Amino acid sequence: MKPVPVRLGAVEIPGLGWEAFAVSDRGLVQSISFFRSENDALVCLKDIMAERPAFRVDPEPPADLEWWRDTFLQFFNGGISAADPGRVPLDSRDWKPFQKDIFLALRDNVQWSETISYGELAGLAGYPGAARAVGTAMSQNMCGPFIPCHRVIGARGRIGGYSGVGGLNLKKKLLEIENRCEILDKIK
């Protein structure tokens, strides 16, 4: 099977850094965050995509680059892509069935400023008792923030892990951003 072409773009998220993303004809394939420069983010993303044989990087930017940039910015401001991440197209063609079940259960059921435990997410997706496997799936999430793995926490409210650049500090910051936006929305 021929590798699917993907095109790369990046957007600066105020207060967090640069987010790079790869998109195909079906939607978002990979995103990585948060880097000090656009170049650092894009170089890292190219390296990651080189390890995904189902895809190949096309040197042209996405035709809908501005739409993707706006979509990421909306998410981090609590806009429509945060309120309804199901509207953001994702390319899941190389996801394993378990990953797909977990990722979509998370995306479709855990809303902005909400959290869920690894065990609860396992049960919600039809895999009761698979909390550790959910943790592994979260560490392999390719489509953050639209598969919002930062919302998955440990039992009894523990923060759990986070494999994104910035680790647990970033996970805490993302949850704080969501809670702050939720509070601001209630004040308006």
114 and 158, same domain (yes or no)? yes
57 DSSP assignment: E
pTM given for the model:
0.89
Q: What is the CATH number of the domain that holds 66?
A: 3.30.160
125 and 108, same domain (yes or no)? yes
Residue 120 structural domain: 95-187
Q: Which residue, of 33, 62, 86, is where some domain finishes?
A: 86
pLDDT single digits (tens) 115-147 = 999 999 999 999 999 999 999 999 999 998 999
Q: Which residue, of 62, 86, 110, is where some domain finishes?
A: 86
Which position among 44, 143, 149, 181 bears the catalytic label?
149
Q: Which residue, of 29, 51, 86, is where some domain finishes?
A: 86
pLDDT single digits (tens) 141-187 = 999 899 999 999 988 878 877 776 667 888 888 888 888 765 444 43
143 is catalytic: no
Q: What is the CATH number of the domain that holds 168?
A: 1.10.10.10
Q: Which residues contact 37 (CB under 8 A, 6 or more apart)?
A: 18
- From CA 2, how far away is CA 151, in angstroms rounded? 35
- From CA 108, how far away is CA 103, in angstroms rounded? 9
